[in-house]
Amino acid sequence: MKLSELFKKGKFVITSEIGPPKGWQVDKCIHEAETYLKGKVDAINVTDNQSSVMRFGSLATCILLKQKNMEPIFQVTCRDRNRIALQSDILSAYAFGIENLLLLTGDHPVLGDHKDAKPVFDLDSVSLIYAVKKLESGEDLAGNKLEGEPPKFCIGAVVSPCAEPLDPQLFKMEKKIKAGAEFFQTQLVFEPEKFVKFMDIVKKNFGKVYVLLGITILKSVGMAKYMNENVAGVFVPDYLIEELKKDKEKTKSGQTGIEIAAKLIKEMKPYCDGVHIMPLGWDDKVPHLLELAEL
């Protein structure tokens, strides 16, 4: 089912994500999704060689999820494929009933484990959205007619609401909306006041566009500090770091992180259309988080 249908019904949409393994044996990854996410979230986003680290493919994982009656969101980045391969993979996905896409530019290869790889970026997030809209109109990017019925997707994109400066982000967000993005998944948010301000600007300037709040479970003080140093658009405020420091055992078990995440969700829920949980390996903690956040 397309996420847009859920948004239109006014449902507070819940999505999570899985990262395929480095290897071909994906049973464990699919089994985890079935155990911890199936029936609890509306859709599962499958990352595309996340952080530029070579892994099992997003498309194949999406197909496996679909076979187990889970709703996948096919994440597609522009880092590894040119416009021919991108359009081809997206058409292929549709044949397997994959209707939700998350279209990104993607990290640069130097951030991953094949630093010497060719960075493709033939298209970027905006032109990829444009390409998918072309496919939906029955033509490819070069203007050639597609055979048979055109596909019809629900197109998602990403935005970073706590980035500084914010204006260039809003500029690109608006370009993505104009190109055809229907929903946005945000970068991780730890600063509700910034998010509320961002949503206010979005509602005033861009009209109705659906936004999924990006949330993760903080695992440790080190993780928070690392993100503050290295991850674009992510700032974990000091008071949250203090909370993680308070009870080492509780933080280690994940309980502190879950409590923080639940509190953040509750605080920002009135301002957005759904939440996207990035468990970063802690899939087993998602059900407890959803419970605590009363979702």
Contact positions vs another protein (CB under 8 A): 83, 105, 107-108, 110-111, 119, 121-127, 130, 141, 158-160, 163-165, 167-169, 171-172, 174-175, 178-179, 187, 230-233
**Cα 124 from Cα 130, distance rounded (Å):** 10
Question: Minimum CB separation from another protein for residue 6, in Å?
Answer: 26
Nearest CB to another protein, comparing residues 119 and 287: 119
- The H or E element spanning position 173 is helix 167-179
Nearest CB to another protein, comparing residues 65 and 236: 236
Nearest CB to another protein, comparing residues 85 and 111: 111
**Structure tokens given for 237:** 């405020």
Contact 68, 30 (CB under 8 A): yes
Q: Helix or strand or coil: residue 206? A: helix
Question: Minimum CB separation from another protein for residue 108, in Å?
Answer: 5
Question: Minimum CB separation from another protein for residue 264, in Å?
Answer: 20
Nearest CB to another protein, comparing residues 21 and 119: 119
Contact 272, 5 (CB under 8 A): no
**Cα 77 from Cα 96, distance rounded (Å):** 19
User: What single DSSP character describes residue 79?
Assistant: S
Question: Minimum CB separation from another protein for residue 58, in Å?
Answer: 19
Contact 261, 211 (CB under 8 A): no
Question: Minimum CB separation from another protein for residue 29, in Å?
Answer: 26
**Cα 184 from Cα 58, distance rounded (Å):** 19
Question: Minimum CB separation from another protein for residue 237, in Å?
Answer: 17
Nearest CB to another protein, comparing residues 176 and 285: 176
Nearest CB to another protein, comparing residues 186 and 256: 186
Q: Cα 7 to chain center, whole Å?
A: 16
Among 108, 121, 85, 103, CA closest to 177: 103
Among 114, 112, 58, 117, CA closest to 86: 58
Q: Helix or strand or coil: residue 256? A: helix
Nearest CB to another protein, comparing residues 79 and 219: 79
Pick left, alpha or beta for residue 10 (phi over 0 → left; psi -120 to 50 → alpha; otherwise beta): left
Nearest CB to another protein, comparing residues 85 and 232: 232
**Cα 153 from Cα 1, distance rounded (Å):** 10
